[in-house]
Amino acid sequence: MQGGHESTGDAAADAVTPTAGWLAELSQLGRALRRLFGAQLQLLAAELGLARSAVSWMLAAALAATAAAVGLGLTVLGLLGVALAQWLGSWIWALLVLALLQLVFLVATIVLFRRCMHWMSLPATRGEWAAMIRGTVQQAEAGIAAQAGPARQGEEGGP
């Protein structure tokens, strides 16, 4: 009979061990997942900080490039004016030719802009444009509703 009691005790011990093993493995898996996702969140936060810094530097570089381009354009126009004055023998004629060149460039850019606006008004493009605007408005409304939701819950849950 004692052998029977020992075998029952061994069976009970074996039944407890797999359950405890499962719980230990599950808790170990939970800790590993928490560590993994914690590391992923830290990496994401670092990447977002780097992107934010990159955007600031890109805007500063774009501003500097714009200022340099304007300066270069004015210099080229000045040199062209001097060359035209030497060639035509008159500053007035040189400035009139420069004004005409700038007017031609301005008209060309206006025509290009109007052509691009026409392309946007084509039926397929209009549909895509409208769908993009609708999607943006829906996302904005969903964001506003999501921000207003917690505030309403806080007001309703108050004493």
**Placement of tokens 């025509």 in the chain:** 111
User: At 1, is the pLDDT very low, low, confident or very high (cuts 50, 70, 90)?
Assistant: very low
User: At 119, is the pLDDT very low, low, confident or very high (cuts 50, 70, 90)?
Assistant: confident
Percentage of residues in the chain having pLDDT higher than 70: 81
| Mean of pLDDT over the chain | 81
Sign of CA dihedral 42, 45, 47, 53: negative
Q: Who has greater pLDDT, 155 or 95?
A: 95
pLDDT at 14 over 80: no
pLDDT at 10 over 70: no
**Burial classification of residue 6, based on how many CB atoms lie within 10 Å of its CB (0-12 exposed, 13-18 middle, 19 or more buried):** exposed
